[in-house]
Amino acid sequence: MPGVVGMSRTMRSHMKSQFISWSLSRKFSTDVEFKPIRSVLVANRGEIAIRVFRACTELGIRSVAIYSEQDKMHMHRQKADESYLVGKGLPPVQAYLNIPEIIRVAKENNVDAIHPGYGFLSERSDFAQAVIDAGIRFIGPTPFVVQQMGDKVAARNAAIEAEVPIVPGTPGPVTTTDEAMEFCLKHGLPVIFKAAYGGGGRGMRVVRKMEEVKENFERATSEAAAAFGNGAMFIEKFIERPRHIEVQLLGDKAGNVVHLFERDCSVQRRHQKVVEIAPAPHLDGKVRQKMLDKAVQLARHVKYSNAGTVEFLADEGGNFYFIEVNARLQVEHTVTEEITGIDLVQSQIKIAEGMTLPELGLSQEKIVPQGYAIQCRVTTEDPAKNFQPDTGRIEVFRSGEGMGIRLDGASAFAGAIISPYYDSLLVKVIAHAADLQACCAKMNRALREFRVRGVKTNIPFLLNVLENQKFVNGAVDTYFIDEHPQLFSLQPTQNRAQKLLNYIGTVLVNGPSTPLATKLKPAEVVPQVPEIPLGKNLISNY
């Protein structure tokens, strides 16, 4: 299948050889073995798969896609150099979780490395191990680190060992209401219950009254068991009015680690990020530096390699506390790329090849943020119906464009089918400008240029967020959406062009719908049927 930019094999080979020659001419400061990657399979779909394919194309690397039966017409399949069906007969999501089949496709097609993207298998240590056992490189941390950081208890213990501040909490998973009551009595309220073996806001409850502890614990346990197969809970002291700030890291196989500054992900709905900002506005300089240092300290302690994120909660008093490590690329990595000018996906691939951060020119003093960047996740959800996912065919699609606007998507075109089987992300819109106010104005303008018909989107809600003065001033915390119900006051889309065309068509065919509108009567059209002589060989006429 031809690549997205039609680059020939000869050109890619030439680019790769130039890159290898340049790499080998550098003076290696470590004993890390350099082994070039010639092909990458992305064990994912949609927007993130296309993001990785683009990075591969720019590096002259052959890109390989996998797709489920439901995704056979999906754009990510078309953007890769090669694509292969996986999970035939399996449910839509299970197709992308079929580790043996993904490994088989990779081995049969001489794939050098596998990139997991985000979601699906990206934080499964057994997948990372299976890839390595098959003699294929995994573009991400080591399986041990993926397992350690994916286990909330192990990650918390690692943070304690690395002297990173943590929220007071249970030392291990809690399974009974008696243990939950004991913790609450000892540390006081409020507390938060979190699923010990999963995330995404499921199995999460905040408790502020002692009489509600038992009921909320049982509900959280039941929800976690249904979602992750294990109802064990992790209990922490709840931080009031926190900001959710995460630090982007890059590490190599030689033990070097750098940070690419931080992102503010406080604008959340039901624990799901909606809008992300980089860098975090109005964050005290001393607090920022301490947070960045602690994130790097933790990564060095666990011998972290490749891209990852350390997440913190910051309170109003300048204190911050470790939440978790995401041992993968994040959905919102784009805002960090915009302010630093560093391609995180290409960096991931080069690190997997064996290059070190100094060889990539990524020393800490050279990484300097420029301006502000905002990412809005445009989804096919209807905010007027409690963000119910919408499905169907996109009839009209026109995007916002212009200086400082970046679009990362997969189904953002007229004719695209939005299926109910996967997440509702339509396109990520990223704005970059000199300051936060200019960035908000640029994003606002770009979103207003969008025209999407056929499915509902959350753009009206995003516009309300961007026009909120508290957001424009950068004074947000995780309560922002809950405390601003006016964000849900939505203007219905006018859709004037389609309404006008429908009306004109109706009048032309059926006549006026009111007696006083016009004296025109319905048209009487007698269709002309072309005459076809019987018995004549029609094929011979072509």
pLDDT reading at 207 higher than 90: yes
pLDDT tens digits along 5-50: 444 555 545 544 444 444 433 333 456 789 999 999 999 999 999 9
Secondary structure of residue 426 in the 3-state scheme: strand
The torsion angles phi and psi of 117, rounded to 5 degrees, stand at 70, -145
For the question of residue 328 being annotated catalytic, the response is: yes
Secondary structure of residue 198 in the 3-state scheme: coil
The one-letter amino acid code at 253 reads: K
**Closest to 258 (Cα-Cα) out of 297, 204, 314:** 297
Share of the chain above pLDDT 90, in %: 73
**Closest to 163 (Cα-Cα) out of 324, 301, 259:** 301
pLDDT band at 267 (very low <50, low <70, confident <90, very high): very high
Residues 6+ apart with CB under 8 A from 19: 36, 59, 60
| CATH homologous superfamily, domain 177-237 | ATP-grasp fold, A domain (3.30.1490.20)
User: Could you tell me the fold of the domain covering 243-488?
Assistant: D-amino Acid Aminotransferase; Chain A, domain 1 (3.30.470)
- Report which of residues 284 and 519 the model is more confident about: 284
Domain definitions of the chain by residue range: 39-139, 177-237, 243-488
User: DSSP state, 264?
Assistant: E
User: Could you tell me the fold of the domain covering 39-139?
Assistant: Rossmann fold (3.40.50)
Helix segments in 391-458, DSSP class H: 436-449
E strands in 58-153: 62-67, 82-85, 113-115, 137-138
CA distances from 176 to 180, 217, 375, 477 (A): 7, 8, 40, 32
Q: Which of 103-112, 258-267, 286-295, 497-506 has the lowest mean pLDDT?
A: 497-506
- Residues 267, 476 contacting (CB under 8 angstroms): yes
pLDDT tens digits along 366-392: 999 999 999 999 999 999 888 999 999
Please state the three-class secondary structure of 345-367 as a single string. Answer: HHHHHHHHHCCCCCCCCCCHHHC
Please state the three-class secondary structure of 274-313 as a single string. Answer: EEEEECCCCCCHHHHHHHHHHHHHHHHHCCCCEEEEEEEE
pLDDT reading at 98 higher than 60: yes
Question: CA 412, CA 334: separation in Å to the nearest integer?
Answer: 18
Residue 537's pLDDT is what? 60
- Report which of residues 230 and 493 the model is more confident about: 230
Q: Catalytic residue among 54, 156, 205, 328, which? A: 328
Question: CA 174, CA 233: separation in Å to the nearest integer?
Answer: 5
CA-angle at 309, arms to 303 and 311, nearest 5°? 115
Q: Which of 48-52, 96-100, 164-168, 462-466 has the lowest mean pLDDT?
A: 164-168
Q: Which of 302-306, 365-369, 526-530 has the lowest mean pLDDT?
A: 526-530
